[in-house]
Chains A and B, each alone.
Chain A
Amino acid sequence: MSEPSATQRLSPLHAVHEALGAAFTDFAGWQMPVRYSSDLAEHHAVRTAAGIFDISHMAEIGVDGPDAAAFLDAALAGRLSAMLPGKAKYSLVLNEAGGIVDDLIVYRMTDTSYLVVANASNRFAVVEALQHRAGGFDVAIDDRTEQIALIAVQGPASVAVLAATAGLAIDGLDDLKYYAWGSGTFAGVDLMVARTGYTGEDGFELYVPVEHAAALWAALTAAGEPLGLVPCGLAARDTLRLEAGMPLYGHELGLSIQPVQAGLGRVVVTDKPAFVGRDAILAGPADGAPVLVGLQADGKRAARAEYPVYSGDTLVGEITSGALSPTLGYPIAMAFVAPEVSALGTVLDLDVRGTRIPATVVALPFYSRS
């Protein structure tokens, strides 16, 4: 339990969370809600109805200019030039060694305009990388994190929640595809609504000017409560994304990890003009470099990040994230392990604070919505 320090940033919705009685945690220098009532209740609400999350700590970076598409193809791992306006794509910022600087969602606004959404912890690294890589391109990089609040509504009732929200009008809400975004207005203010998320459920992320965030949160909550929507904190967000097999930077992703090791080889497009990290990606990670696997165990005792993984008496890897899965009822984890013990069905031992717990390598994700 840490006290707020002078360096901590507060969300534009901070007063809303305080009024709701949230417990807070420091996340990448931001004071963010970790829970409002119960991690498990919040988790289950997202799986069965809906949850509303404040993720305003995420970084929004505008990339605008005649060369925006070519620039992003050179600066990022994917082929963003091939994406149509109105769409979103998961992508990566790589370093020259092919390591991961951050994972991103990139939205194409127009032919010459994109919005890059980065992790709070990597905001400045991403801005710096983009600025550094922009030389020779006619493009402007604009960090809008302080101007934009981000509210996620996630869960099977999400469409109904948005449709019922007073004052919220979204173009083509019913037809909005997963990994697409649409324009909308809330009480006369323009906003962007994307069908994206980090929970493994249907859901939306609403980008709104900070000064209108509290009113939008209130309207969404008022419409959503009768449908089972509850406010959700970062604890539930973490267990939801883990069940969905989604990586978290600093756990499954990092500067010394190539995308292919984390199962993200498909995110890197190599048959495009030069991009940062290309040579290292083509060379591939070192022989024997660890690979990310899913692990499933019996009982109720979960392995946590940094716990060792053994095959017999041999140390073969380390847990990156782990929890007792609220939806599945058994312990799940992701881990980097030696490739020779990464095959599905391999039984490994997790060292849970001195006790060996057997776990089986299973396919990711652990949970998929039906």
Chain B
Amino acid sequence: MSAVPADLQYTAEHEWVRLDGDVATVGITQYAADALGDVVYVDLPKVGAALTSGSIVGEVESTKSVGELYAPLDGEVVEANSAVVDAPETINSDPYGEGWLVKVRVSSTPTLLSADEYRALIGE
């Protein structure tokens, strides 16, 4: 069973979003991190990058495979988590906390899944 915190929103591409005013914190779900295995490399969009919902903006790579990071919403990157670039294993150990990836200033209302909807999507 993967944790799916009720206070977050989700995408079908296994990202989570925490909306705080017009700033969204984005990461990948525990389900995604578990499926990837040990994350060894992260490529994140740069601060100032304009994101378009659904476009590929980064990579999360494990020893075994490569996962693409999709923009979960439209907006501008205001912060990228450099700590997770230096210590990618944080994504496995704390996907919803220290393992966050980027903060985005949201420019339009995103369409996201609730925790229940995401739980149903991953069959849990």
Residues of A within 8 A of B (CB): 1, 23, 34-35, 38-41, 43, 235, 238-239, 300-302, 304, 323-324, 326, 353
Contact = CB atoms under 8 A, between A and B. Distances in A.
Nearest to A331: B41
A252 B38 CA distance: 25
Contacts of A324: 40-41, 61, 63
Contacts of A43: 63
A238 B41 contact: no
Interface residues of B, number: 15
A189 B41 CA distance: 47
Contacts of A23: 34-35
B83 interface: no
B38 A238 contact: no
B41 A35 contact: no
15 contacts: A1-B35, A23-B35, A38-B38, A38-B92, A39-B64, A40-B38, A40-B63, A41-B38, A235-B64, A239-B63, A301-B41, A301-B43, A302-B41, A304-B66, A324-B41
Contacts of B37: 34-35, 38-39, 235
Given A23-B34, A38-B38, A300-B40, A353 B63 contact: no
Contacts of A353: 59, 66
Given A38-B92, A40-B40, A43-B63, 10 more contacts: A1-B35, A35-B37, A39-B38, A39-B62, A39-B64, A301-B61, A302-B61, A304-B65, A324-B61, A326-B63
Nearest to A299: B41
Interface in B56-104: 59, 61-66, 92
A346 to B, nearest CB: 25
B40 A34 contact: no
Nearest to B42: A300
A34 B35 CA distance: 10
A39 B33 CA distance: 12
A324 to B, nearest CB: 5
Interface of B: 34-35, 37-38, 40-41, 43, 59, 61-66, 92
Nearest to B122: A1
Contacts of A301: 41, 43, 61
Contacts of B59: 353
A301 B64 CA distance: 12
A38 to B, nearest CB: 5
A291 to B, nearest CB: 26
A165 to B, nearest CB: 29
Contacts of A34: 37, 64
Nearest to A41: B38
Contacts of A304: 65-66
A223 to B, nearest CB: 27
B87 to A, nearest CB: 12
A23 B43 CA distance: 26
B3 to A, nearest CB: 15
A337 B66 CA distance: 23
A40 B62 CA distance: 10
B41 A39 contact: no
Among B34, B43, B63, max chain A CB count under 10 A is at B63
A1 B92 CA distance: 17
Contacts of A238: 64
6 smallest beta-carbon distances between A and B, as pairs = A40-B38, A300-B41, A39-B37, A235-B64, A39-B63, A324-B40
Contacts of A235: 37, 63-64
Contacts of B34: 23
A301 to B, nearest CB: 6
Contacts of A300: 40-41
Contacts of A323: 63-64
A38 B59 CA distance: 20
Contacts of B35: 1, 23
A227 to B, nearest CB: 23
Nearest to B37: A39
A41 B92 CA distance: 13
A175 B16 CA distance: 56
